[in-house]
Amino acid sequence: MALGARRLGAMFFMSMHCLIIEDERDTAHFIRKGLKEAGYIVTCCNELAEGLNFAVRKQWDIIIVDRMLSGNVDGLLIVKILTKLDKRTPVLILTALAMLDERVRGLRKVGHDYLIKPFTFSHFLARVEALTRRHLQLKNMEELQVADLKLNLRTRTAERGGRPISLQPREFRLLEHLVRHQNQIVTRTALLESVWDCHFDSNAGVLNVQISRLRRKIDKGFSPRLLHTIRGAGYMVSVDG
């Protein structure tokens, strides 16, 4: 497929952040140039130590690593370290046919992939897009976000502006329901039924207290305010209010 057509297909991946760890300058330049033309934001490293530092300290949508780096360093090491740190960033390993072993083939079972050198850029980009698309789908299943407020549904944790927010289980359920319905008015009755499993207004006072606590935790010291009271109607999580 022509690169122009690929660019059109890659529009959905604009602003994706890609880390390349490749010590062959020609290969690094080749894939870096192509990815930038396809709309990716690219950072390159030529050794694993530097690449690991970037991989651990920043968030990436995909990491591309050569199987064998200078000094006989195995690029698969980055997969092992990311797994140990519970980082789910997809990794694409570039490998020579002679180095295709069971460990490389097994990458697909854990959400990563490999590509045998030499390759065409269209083939390479197709693999990158498949990995980032799958990663986004999994991420959307376990994370909710509004503005800079993020909820991790897998770990049941929250953060805003990169700062962790301590929430009690009931507070998390309350915030989760509101964020799932962001930009919509959620009635008091709906919140009581969803969070407290009540079908009447006897817990209205408890709801008021929880909303007040939640507002302090997610809005105090942050901008813009996200949790709004809609008089006579209910509550809304929204950037615009």
Q: What domains, with CATH codes, occur in the chain?
A: 3-141 (3.40.50.2300), 147-237 (1.10.10.10)
214: number of CA atoms within 13 Å, CB side? Answer: 27
103: number of CA atoms within 13 Å, CB side? Answer: 10
Say whether pLDDT at 228 is over 90.
yes
Token representation of residue 179: 């964020």
Instruction: Give the tens place of pLDDT for each residue, 81-107.
Output: 988 887 889 999 999 988 889 889 888
- pLDDT > 90 fraction of the chain, expressed in percent and rounded: 57
pTM for the structure as a whole: 0.59
Say whether pLDDT at 25 is over 70.
yes
d(CA 77, CA 59): 18
Q: Are strands 163-165 and 68-69 parallel, antiparallel or unpaired?
A: unpaired
Instruction: Give the tens place of pLDDT for each residue, 115-144.
Output: 999 999 999 999 999 999 888 777 777 888
**Which of 72-86, 99-113, 200-214, 215-229 is the least confident region?**
200-214
